[in-house]
A = this chain, B = another copy of it.
Amino acid sequence: MPVNIRDIAKAAGVSVATVSKALNGYRSVNASTREKVQRIAKEMQFHPNAAARSLVGQRSMTLGVFLTTGLSHPFFASLLGGVDQALQARGYDLIYLSQVSWREEYNFVRHCRSRNVEGVLVFGFQESDMDFGELIESRLPAVFIDMEISGSHIATISSDNVEAIRSAVRRLHEWNHRRIAFIAGQPGSYASRTRFEGYREGLAEFRLPFRQEYVIAGDFTRESGYEAAKRLLALPVRERPTAIVCCSDMSAIGAMEAAAEEGLSVPDDLSIVGFDDIEAARSVRPALTTIRQDTQSIGRKAVELLDDLIREADIPSKQVILPTEWVSRGTCAPAP
Residues of A in contact with B (beta carbons under 8 Å apart)? 2, 45, 47-52, 54-55, 60, 62, 65, 69, 71-72, 74, 77-78, 80-81, 84, 87-88, 93-101, 107, 110-111, 113-116, 221-223, 226, 254, 257, 279-280, 283, 285
Q: Are B98 and A95 in contact (CB under 8 A)?
A: no
Smallest CB–CB gap between A150 and chain B, Å?
24
- Complex: A111 Cα to B107 Cα, angstroms: 28
Q: Which residue of B lies closest to A77 (CB)?
A: B72
- Are A2 and B95 closer than 8 Å at their CB atoms? no
- Inter-chain CA distance A84–B222, complex, in Å, is 26
Query: Can you list 26 residue pairs at the A/B interface with Cβ under 8 Å?
Result: A2-B110, A2-B113, A2-B114, A45-B107, A45-B110, A47-B110, A47-B113, A48-B114, A49-B114, A50-B51, A50-B114, A51-B116, A52-B55, A55-B55, A69-B81, A71-B80, A84-B98, A88-B101, A93-B115, A94-B95, A94-B96, A94-B98, A221-B283, A222-B280, A222-B283, A226-B283
8 nearest interchain CB pairs?
A: A72-B77, A47-B114, A51-B54, A94-B96, A51-B51, A51-B55, A2-B113, A71-B77
Shortest distance from the beta carbon of A101 to any chain B beta carbon, whole Å: 8
A96-B99 in contact (CB<8A): no
Interchain CB contact under 8 A, B100 and A88:
yes
> Once bound together, how far apart are the Cα atoms of A48 and B285, in whole Å?
56
Interface residues of chain A: helix, strand, loop or mixed (majority): helix
The residues of B that contact A114 with a CB separation of less than 8 Å are: 2, 47-50
Docked pose: A111 CA to B94 CA in angstroms:
13
Which residue of the partner chain B has the closest CB to A80?
B71
Q: Which residue of B lies closest to A48 (CB)?
A: B114
List B contacts of A98 (CB < 8 A).
Answer: 84, 87-88, 93-94
Residue of B with least CB distance to A60 = B51
Most B Cβ at <10 Å: residue of A60, A94, A115: A115
| Cα-based distance from A116 to B81 in the complex (angstroms) | 24
CB-defined contacts of A223 to chain B, threshold 8 Å: 283
Chain B residues positioned under 8 Å from A72 (CB to CB)? 74, 77-78, 279
New A-B pairs, 18, CB < 8 Å, besides A51-B51, A72-B78: A2-B114, A45-B110, A47-B113, A47-B114, A49-B55, A49-B114, A50-B114, A62-B95, A69-B81, A71-B80, A72-B74, A84-B99, A88-B98, A88-B100, A93-B97, A221-B283, A222-B280, A222-B283
